[in-house]
Structure 1
């Protein structure tokens, strides 16, 4: 018989006929329930029947002669012996999924001869890929496939592909041992009976679920925020990749010795170490990840010999307390594993449903394979007469997780990272490898070292983040003072215009002389170094000369915001020790009459004065600026002359110089004014001042920019957004626009640059304590497609570190506190030694240096820029979930028609609610926004209230005025769907959901999220089946997960999509049942259809 065929021929192997008679009643041997892991895998299949997740494949490379008929006979014999290999899963028409064991179900077997092909190895890989992508129909087809491919006369590949729902790793070694034993014997040798898998399922059904629920609820109580890993993209697509590495021999030995000395397992050490890595990557002391357990109950007779899927994935919580050593933490994890053992059988989906995070509880798993499966498989058949010579075993497995870890013990431990390369990069895997090895090395060397002191950075990573990313040193007048530099500039440019204000202008000589007269008067009042002088003026020329005059005395100025209440103003004056206030004569009435005031406007035209140089230094205090404090009282930040000079000398984000014209937009009491005033005046440039009425009006501001020839300006992000909405072309005359103070809006930047293609937009970040800017970033086109715009790199003569809670440096991608160092760090807080000690700390990386701990969270990006994540104290709790408001705002900014938005937490009665305040271009349907958001955010992160504003209220400093936002109880709002009579579809859905939950229909509201009222993933299948029967529609299960409330699901069922779902689902069902593998073959293809 000839089996020749051209490679170009496709052969369709139909499975429809093969499966048609398999599930006849007379062919059914047994029916029983599913194990916890089986339920999870079945759910994954039901939601996406075309997914290849949980498809596993072994490729045995065999040398010598192989008899295909003997191999097929051995595979059939194996199926006859183990009922799990003859199992299908029924779930489409039942409330509770069942597995059905068939009496006869021979596995699929294929033989292909590739000896005459030019690239047989490539064709084997192509065949394996096709087998995996083909997937399995769990309800209708054979779930085990064997294929024998001949590459050369003495070279074969035996490909064994199966669905993980049948078997776990513990079962594979004895299963393959039997398979190759059958092949070796070639006869039906009597075998010892194997206990059926059904025994295990029946054992499961006897367990007390109440005890398990109580245990897992208590175990996970208080866990509020899921951990993440550094992802390069958010995607639904999957591309399998593996990163494998081996621990050094010495480290493996040390870990084994550590485990033995502490009476714990090496598995516990790996779990603890990975937990600490996650903690440090997420800036938290509390993490949860999936832990794969064997699931074989020791009390069940014959359990060790059973073949099937026993493993289960459980949440493993690693919670570190301050003061915990690594050894202490290992002991805690060891005890937790021991305590959870009686409840290892409980399904993950049930555990998730009883947790606060529901399906977001965990996103990756870790498995420690105590059995050396690969080693056992390589030895199979080799010691038996007539056996096979197995030279190599290649294993492929894919879960429904984008990332999972498998640790293989041995003389040298081997770690496998399996990941979705569409989501995670190879570089991220390599970084995680370095972090894990670095931590394990340090912990094994000194297990009693505090967890906070353990570093993740390898020598390579440490050099990168501490040195390369912070190589910012350059020359500048670090030993000068601001007033001395100004004198030098004024002497070199006496007649050059230094300041423009409305229709007035002032030369450098005029400002120098005017400020001299102010300094003389202040000195006459006994003021000099170590004194503070108040400055109570708006944005005007008196502000500039007041600052200069005070600095020339050697004293420091205290900007007093004119918008302050009298009580707040009095507090700052007293706290700062202000004795004299520089103001204008027309403003004197706003200050207490008991204060000594100097009217600087009256010194404008008075006689000239000679002022001797003050005896102050670069490290002397230049100003004291108050910011809001957590205690309710403002706190004063002490900034030196060197701090200011570091800010304005050597920046690469703006071209300072005599040609530069800068518009001041910041209030004197806002630290942006430091950059604006001294950036212009210490370089011979021109400073432009405009009134508040010009600044907040787009038309007037645009005219002012053109009239004064302004080249650069700073705006807060909210003010920029508002002006951009009014007239995005208003920035066309600028060269540089620095925006900051809040997260930048990509939409508004794009809008402005479309009207001004040459405009350089710079993201400026920094706390007042580090003198205005710590980092800056020139926004690129690529940034406008990213999730967030980076805050950039440190300024010259500055440093930025991303540190963990123990102030250890973190590698690229890990989230930590942004700590800033270098010459911008101020002296501390006025009269607040405890807060100063807490926030201003010694720089552990620069001898004698100081750091400011910002309280902001960020992470290094691979290019050395910093990604700002949010505030450590801006996370709020909503219904038990920890929420970052900035993440919600970024999602809202991408909605159609939205102009500006801020999200706040408001207390309504006893509950906290998320409220979105927005301005819009046109009338919007908030219900449509909710649909869009539901695909991007968890339900608990979608605001309860959407409140439309005419304009976003701003403070004088251009930031959103949170106190001016209206109360949602009285504002225009779109809240929860009001009570009304349900239509027939809504009533049916509600009744079915209530019956599954065991509650009254009235307990379920139209907008209640299914998952939040107790419906779990497996309940969805039951509800889906009942809805199909009720409406006689083949409703896709995916629709249930996309439309997760009665109102939304009813709308779907009543829509055209719902009407078309029956035909679409029926078509998909037919394809699923009849689809085959398309096999390209060259020489020999033989398929046994016996018993089909």
Structure 2
């Protein structure tokens, strides 16, 4: 490597985390795709100093190795992440306050930043743009490759950026545990034990539970669309009460209700779906403050015996989740290799986003008159459907590829999911074979015929 990629500028080299491996492979197949490109946008209201932000970004580049990391594949096919000693951040500033339509320019910049591919082998894999919209209103836009940051890390990074901006240094922040400690910890895990567990867990599951598609397109083609489902305060209170009474978590309640809907789509009594785990229970000092990708995607298998109480199914899902936590640290490709379905094991993912973005400045004494607001985070994976629950904001988002999945079907999915959830949280004794009778709201769509409601 030439230039800044000389041996003298390399600080460390190590392997990828399980989810990073999957992202690298997908991005290698579709290098111009926006899969795993993530973007966060927020507004700084009040007095703003660009120099302070520059310094804050420099502090974070020095503090976190992952922000100076590039990704390569050796001639032998081994995937590696290379930490550079120095890397210049891509930071741009634009004054759009004098333009007749500043928001149009901001939208254009945001779209360009999102659609411009990252080069994993060169970096930097994060871009920062600041746009002045009015005299005391600035838009901060961070666009990055998901391969360096998961949601938990993004929250930590934003908090530290605002802290460094306000305080002029990183003094007072906890010492950051480097991401390599997580990689080392994974390397000490027994892959033989992981393999044995997933072989047993997936044994006998030979028919995938899929989302019906209406069109077939070339791999990598994606046109994002979403459908939002509100969860009002009454529903959230009933969900909380049910969780407390049945000693299960709201996450496992909604997950199991979705699994039930999926089982009806596929006329089966058991399903496997993909879920995202945070990986923040690893036995590493400072794991909560590590900036990097500790998250992973794993399969979850749910069985629905006809006469079982739904709360018992949910409890079983929760018990299995607790039992398999030590086996989360294996790449999805490796897990899939223990199933005859391989990459067809599941075709969508379920995410529970328990992050309060409006609290990102908590603990940072912002200067008088300064306000951080309008946090927006968006991005996607390569899956044609992502179901993300935002319990703190009280809604569910169905992000889908409208090139292959019909919008009417997505709306039917949302309606049936809420019917099932409502039926379950209103009757702790409801049985699996009674849920269909409790769901009384028919959905007017041709695609609803896929379901036995």
Q: Give the TM-score range, shorter chain.
A: over 0.9
**Among candidates 253, 261, 279, match of residue 245 of structure 2:** 261
Residue 49 of structure 2 corresponds to which residue in structure 1? 67
The answer to whether the 8 A contact 1:184-1:381 is kept is no
1: CA distance, partners of 2:52 / 2:70:
26
Matched, 1:167 2:149: yes
Q: TM-score, normalised by structure 2?
A: 0.94
Cα deviation, residue 116, structure 1:
2.5
Alpha-carbon distance change, 171 to 139 in structure 1, aligned in 2, over 3 angstroms: same
**Among candidates 180, 194, 207, match of residue 162 of structure 2:** 180
Alpha-carbon distance change, 269 to 109 in structure 1, aligned in 2, over 3 angstroms: same
Residue 375 of structure 1 corresponds to which residue in structure 2? 358
Residue 63 of structure 2 corresponds to which residue in structure 1? 81
Residue 431 of structure 1 corresponds to which residue in structure 2? 412
Cα deviation, residue 390, structure 1:
1.3
2: CA distance, partners of 1:230 / 1:116:
49
2: CA distance, partners of 1:269 / 1:191:
37
Residue 450 of structure 2 corresponds to which residue in structure 1? 814
Residue 309 of structure 2 corresponds to which residue in structure 1? 325
Alpha-carbon distance change, 365 to 34 in structure 1, aligned in 2, over 3 angstroms: same
Cα deviation, residue 380, structure 1:
5.4
Matched, 1:129 2:111: yes
2: CA distance, partners of 1:443 / 1:188:
48
Cα deviation, residue 296, structure 1:
2.6
Residue 760 of structure 1 corresponds to which residue in structure 2? none
Unpaired runs of at least 5, structure 1: 1-18, 470-810, 818-1092
The answer to whether the 8 A contact 2:9-2:86 is kept is yes
Cα deviation, residue 257, structure 1:
0.9
2: CA distance, partners of 1:108 / 1:433:
40
1: CA distance, partners of 2:349 / 2:437:
21
Cα deviation, residue 20, structure 1:
5.0
RMSD (Å), alpha carbons: 2.1
What per-residue deviation string (whole Å, max 9, x for no partner) do you get for residues 602-629 of structure 1?
Answer: xxxxxxxxxxxxxxxxxxxxxxxxxxxx
Residue 282 of structure 1 corresponds to which residue in structure 2? 266
SS of the residue aligned with 1:151? strand
Matched, 1:396 2:378: yes
2: CA distance, partners of 1:439 / 1:213:
34
1: CA distance, partners of 2:351 / 2:195:
24
**Among candidates 246, 255, 272, match of residue 271 of structure 1:** 255
Matched, 1:215 2:197: yes
Matched, 1:347 2:328: no
The answer to whether the 8 A contact 2:69-2:123 is kept is no
Q: Runs ≥4 in structure 1, deviation > 4 angstroms?
A: 379-382, 456-460
What per-residue deviation string (whole Å, max 9, x for no partner) do you get for residues 760-798 of structure 1?
Answer: xxxxxxxxxxxxxxxxxxxxxxxxxxxxxxxxxxxxxxx
SS of the residue aligned with 1:195? coil
SS of the residue aligned with 2:381? coil
What per-residue deviation string (whole Å, max 9, x for no partner) do you get for residues 724-753 of structure 1?
Answer: xxxxxxxxxxxxxxxxxxxxxxxxxxxxxx
Alpha-carbon distance change, 187 to 267 in structure 1, aligned in 2, over 3 angstroms: closer
Matched, 1:157 2:139: yes
1: CA distance, partners of 2:176 / 2:367:
25
Cα deviation, residue 35, structure 1:
0.5
SS of the residue aligned with 1:175? helix
Matched, 1:293 2:255: no
**Among candidates 423, 426, 435, match of residue 445 of structure 1:** 426
The answer to whether the 8 A contact 1:382-1:389 is kept is no
SS of the residue aligned with 2:396? strand
The answer to whether the 8 A contact 2:46-2:369 is kept is no
2: CA distance, partners of 1:95 / 1:275:
37
Residue 146 of structure 1 corresponds to which residue in structure 2? 128
2: CA distance, partners of 1:190 / 1:322:
56
Cα deviation, residue 190, structure 1:
5.8
Residue 234 of structure 2 corresponds to which residue in structure 1? 250
Residue 861 of structure 1 corresponds to which residue in structure 2? none
2: CA distance, partners of 1:425 / 1:380:
41
2: CA distance, partners of 1:157 / 1:171:
21
The answer to whether the 8 A contact 1:108-1:146 is kept is yes
- Where relative contact order (Cα < 8 A, 6+ residues apart) is larger, the structure is 2
2: CA distance, partners of 1:259 / 1:340:
21
Cα deviation, residue 118, structure 1:
2.5
Structure 1 or 2, whichever has the larger Rg, is 1
Number of aligned residue pairs: give it: 451
Matched, 1:420 2:404: no
SS of the residue aligned with 1:418? strand
Cα deviation, residue 384, structure 1:
2.1
2: CA distance, partners of 1:115 / 1:157:
11
What per-residue deviation string (whole Å, max 9, x for no partner) do you get for residues 464-499 of structure 1?
Answer: 48xxx9xxxxxxxxxxxxxxxxxxxxxxxxxxxxxx
The answer to whether the 8 A contact 2:163-2:170 is kept is no
The answer to whether the 8 A contact 1:365-1:404 is kept is yes
Cα deviation, residue 120, structure 1:
1.7
What per-residue deviation string (whole Å, max 9, x for no partner) do you get for residues 67-116 of structure 1?
Answer: 22221221121111111111111115343111111111132001111123
Residue 991 of structure 1 corresponds to which residue in structure 2? none
2: CA distance, partners of 1:387 / 1:30:
43
2: CA distance, partners of 1:434 / 1:249:
18
2: CA distance, partners of 1:283 / 1:154:
57
Matched, 1:335 2:319: yes
Cα deviation, residue 242, structure 1:
2.3
Cα deviation, residue 381, structure 1:
8.3
2: CA distance, partners of 1:173 / 1:444:
31
The answer to whether the 8 A contact 1:403-1:419 is kept is yes
Cα deviation, residue 130, structure 1:
1.1
2: CA distance, partners of 1:187 / 1:343:
39
SS of the residue aligned with 1:77? helix
Matched, 1:313 2:297: yes
2: CA distance, partners of 1:287 / 1:188:
47
Q: 1:607-646 to 2 correspondence within 5 Å? A: none
The answer to whether the 8 A contact 2:163-2:364 is kept is no
Cα deviation, residue 457, structure 1:
8.8
Matched, 1:23 2:21: no
Q: 1:501-516 to 2 correspondence within 5 Å? A: none
2: CA distance, partners of 1:110 / 1:24:
26
Residue 363 of structure 1 corresponds to which residue in structure 2? 347
The answer to whether the 8 A contact 1:434-1:458 is kept is no
What per-residue deviation string (whole Å, max 9, x for no partner) do you get for residues 1011-1066 of structure 1?
Answer: xxxxxxxxxxxxxxxxxxxxxxxxxxxxxxxxxxxxxxxxxxxxxxxxxxxxxxxx
2: CA distance, partners of 1:120 / 1:225:
52
2: CA distance, partners of 1:183 / 1:190:
13
Matched, 1:35 2:14: no
SS of the residue aligned with 2:336? helix
1: CA distance, partners of 2:161 / 2:421:
40
SS of the residue aligned with 1:22? helix
Alpha-carbon distance change, 442 to 87 in structure 1, aligned in 2, over 3 angstroms: same
Cα deviation, residue 431, structure 1:
1.6
Cα deviation, residue 29, structure 1:
0.7
**Among candidates 280, 303, 310, match of residue 287 of structure 2:** 303
The answer to whether the 8 A contact 2:419-2:441 is kept is no
